[in-house]
Amino acid sequence: MSEPTSNFIRDIILADNESGKHAGRVQTRFPPEPNGYLHVGHAKSITINFGLAAEFGGMCNLRFDDTNPAKEELEYVESIIEDVKWLGGDFGDRIYYASDYFGQLYDWSCQLIRDGHAYVCDLTPEQVRLSRGTLTEPGQNSPYRDRSIEENLDLFTRMKAGEFPDGSRTLRAKIDMASANLNFRDPVMYRILHAEHHRTGNEWCIYPMYDWAHGQSDSIERITHSICTLEFEDHRPLYDWYVQRLGIFAPRQIEFDRLNLTYTMMSKRKLLQLVQQNLVESWDDPRMPTISGMRRRGYSPQGLRNFAQNLGVSKTNGTTEFEKLEFFIREDLNKTARRAMAVIKPLKLIIDNYPEGQTEWLDACNYPDNETDLRKVPFTRELWIECDDFEETPPKGFFRLYPGNEVRLRWGFFVKCVSLDKDADGNVTAIHCTYDPASRGGNSLDGRKVKSTIHWVSAAHAVAAEIRLYDKLFTKEDPNDVPEGQDFTANLNPKSLVKVQGWLEPALAETQPGDRYQFERLAYFCADKSSTKEKLVFNRTVELRDTWAKEKKKS
RNA sequence: UCCCCGGUCGUCUAAUGGUAGGACAGCGGACUUUGACUCCGUCAAUCGUGGUUCGAAUCCAUGCCGGGGAGCCA
């Protein structure tokens, strides 16, 4: 497992503990908006927030940033809770919602109005945009900026009471329309939205904006370190401004770089588009970069955590190679997944000198380097082997099966290829071998060696299964790199899912959804949630490293 | 054009004024009843220019490059 590497956020906490700022208390939070499923980028945030809390003996809350009823749904809340739990985030019973604080937020708004720091503005959205100025020019004060406190209080009360239509008025903070930081140009605190909220129902028709809700929520929960992504850097001064005007507990916002992965798209809006346009099956389609998709595909929580841990934390905008994710998934699965044999591109192998009708049950190890945990595999005269393990005319360096060559059948016998059956077009339809009965279990009596061991399944005992071979969802490192006028869907990989029928050793018939295996010499697989005893379905999680395939590619 | 942030091996990341290190990827080898795993070796970086200093990836200045910012989204 990888050591957590030093990073600037840990340094800040260390320094705070040193100075006694919070008496050594560390409280973080993971604050998703329930407007989509969590993705691997969130896994990084979860690892940082829960990890730091755990490391310093603190706690991390799960808090839903549910301030926009138009986009948020209960389904997302439920999936997020499940995903955070699955990843190992320990939030105990600390599930909070920004909507829990709507009442407090409202009271604090009145306080800011009374202190002359906020006002009700009657400008339309369009007028607000026009008067905000530009990146280089200052904005203009709203004509409603200098209303009396009494009028503001009255109007705001009536906004809350539902007297005004959507978009007709806002509550804005009175700061500085000329600020170079656009967030200071009298930001909107409340907008009128006659929409049903998934938790508060129709209790509210005014909803707080992110900037007004987030820092205050942090403060209420006495968050010491409020860790978010880089795009909120410009918001920090506003975050601090609200907390200071209110005179409440002041958390510190710290920004880090969000995760970018090659061949992956992390925008929730675009992931939603994939789902809605049926370009993938669902949010948990195994090709999706969502936590639920990765879970369904067979990624393990530990593997994901190790990956996130190894990522490090910084403020550099970069893109991590997808191969790194795959490395940590393989690394964990190698330690935890049971081994089994399966053939996904079958080729018939007939052992001419093996008695017809005979079956031997051979011992096979379930895990490498463990000779006590065994299962039985049936061996018969006719087997399925992998197509790629045979070549009629072997390329240089090929030491699997070819005419005249002897290989080992894993856990079985040595077999030597003696002849081939071909169809009218000259395609090989079956391979004939002879076997050495003395090599039972996989070792010759006379000490002769073979260069290759291949996997196999007894044809008479083989269990059929649907095998879903997944590849990258996008063909380009940057899925958003498209010609003018096209969108990222142009880069969708048409071969991201290939379904084939495979043959499994009979022990696999009992597989339950979610079970992970390494089908030896092929890849890691995970039984899909739809898999049943009647119809087994396996998802390819991640392929094994294949130096032979790489070698072949070179020539 | 204005504000904020950032630039270290191909990629990600350490070094907090004192030997530029690790991981992934690549390459080579050893081992192997998985061409897997493991192990060993190897390639490879401080954006440019000035300055401060005995000494600079680190501090200062400046230039260049990249990211973010003008939602009643988060």
Predicted ipTM? 0.97
Could you tell me if A522 and A433 lie in one domain?
Answer: no
Instruction: Tell me the C-alpha distance between A49 and A65, whole Å.
Output: 16
The answer to whether the C-beta of A368 is closer than 7 A to strand B is yes
Same domain, A77 and A20: yes
Does A350 share its domain with A364? yes
DSSP A508: G
In a domain, A261, yes or no: no
Residue A438: which pLDDT band, with cuts at 50, 70 and 90? Answer: very high
Residue A358 CA neighbour count, 13 Å, CB half: 9
Quick check: is A263 in a domain? no
Q: Is the CB of A410 under 7 A from strand B?
A: yes
Q: What is the mean pLDDT of residues A192-198?
A: 98
Q: Which of A315, A61, A100, A341 is CA-nearest to residue A199?
A: A100
pTM of the predicted structure, to 2 decimals: 0.96
Predicted confidence at residue A553, as pLDDT, reads 83
Between the two ends of chain A, the Cα-to-Cα distance in Å is 36
Residue A549 has pLDDT above 90, yes or no: yes
Distances (CA, A) of A490 to A37, A44, A278: 23, 28, 14
How far lies A210's CA from each of A189, A192, A497, in Å? 8, 14, 39
pLDDT attached to residue A4: 60
* Helix, strand, or coil (residue A517): strand
Q: In terms of domains, do A317 and A195 share one?
A: no
Q: How many domains is chain A partitioned into structurally? A: 3
Rounded to 10 degrees, what is the CA torsion of A311, A315, A319, A322?
Answer: 10
Angle, CA A478 vertex, CA A135 and CA A492 arms, to 5°: 120
Q: Which of A236, A256, A276 is the last residue of a domain?
A: A256
pLDDT over 80 at A5, yes or no: no
Q: What CATH number is associated with residue A513?
A: 2.40.240.10
Clarify whether residues A274 and A250 are in a common domain: no
**pLDDT exceeding 70 applies to what percent of chain A?**
99
3-state helix/strand/coil string of A455-486: CEEECCCCEEEEEEEECCCECCCCCCCCCCCC
- pLDDT at A1 (0 to 100): 35
- Closest residue (Cα, C1') to B1: A136
* Residue A15, domain member (yes or no): yes
On whether both A32 and A110 belong to a single domain, the answer is yes
Average pLDDT for A293-316: 97
* Distance (Å, whole) CA A180 – CA A497: 49
Name the pLDDT band for A159 (thresholds 50, 70, 90).
Answer: very high
Q: How long is the CA A341 to C1' B10 vector, in angstroms?
A: 37
Strand partners, A420: A431
The answer to whether residues A56 and A193 belong to one domain is yes
Q: In the structure, how far is the CA atom of residue A368 from the C1' atom of nucleotide B57, in angstroms?
A: 45
On whether both A383 and A469 belong to a single domain, the answer is: no
A545 belongs to a structural domain: yes
Tell me which residue of A536, A548, A451 sits closest to A502, measured CA to CA. Answer: A536
Q: Which active-site residues of A does the annotation give?
A: 33, 258, 268
For the beta carbon of residue A28, count every other beta carbon within 10 angstroms. Answer: 28
Same domain, A161 and A70: yes
Provide the pLDDT for residue A554.
77
Q: Which nucleotide is nearest to A260 if distance is taken from CA to C1'? A: B12
Mean pLDDT (whole number) for A145-170:
98
Q: Which of residues 451-490 of A touch strand B (CB under 7 A)?
A: 452-454
A326 CA from B39 C1′ (Å):
21
pLDDT tens digits for range A45-60: 999 999 999 999 999 9
A153 and A296 belong to one structural domain: no
C-beta of residue A497 within 8 angstroms of C-beta of residue A470 = yes
Predicted local confidence at residue A234, as pLDDT: 97
Domain interval for residue A322: 268-338+465-554
Nucleotide showing the shortest C1' distance to residue A408 CA: B33
Whether pLDDT at A2 is above 50: no
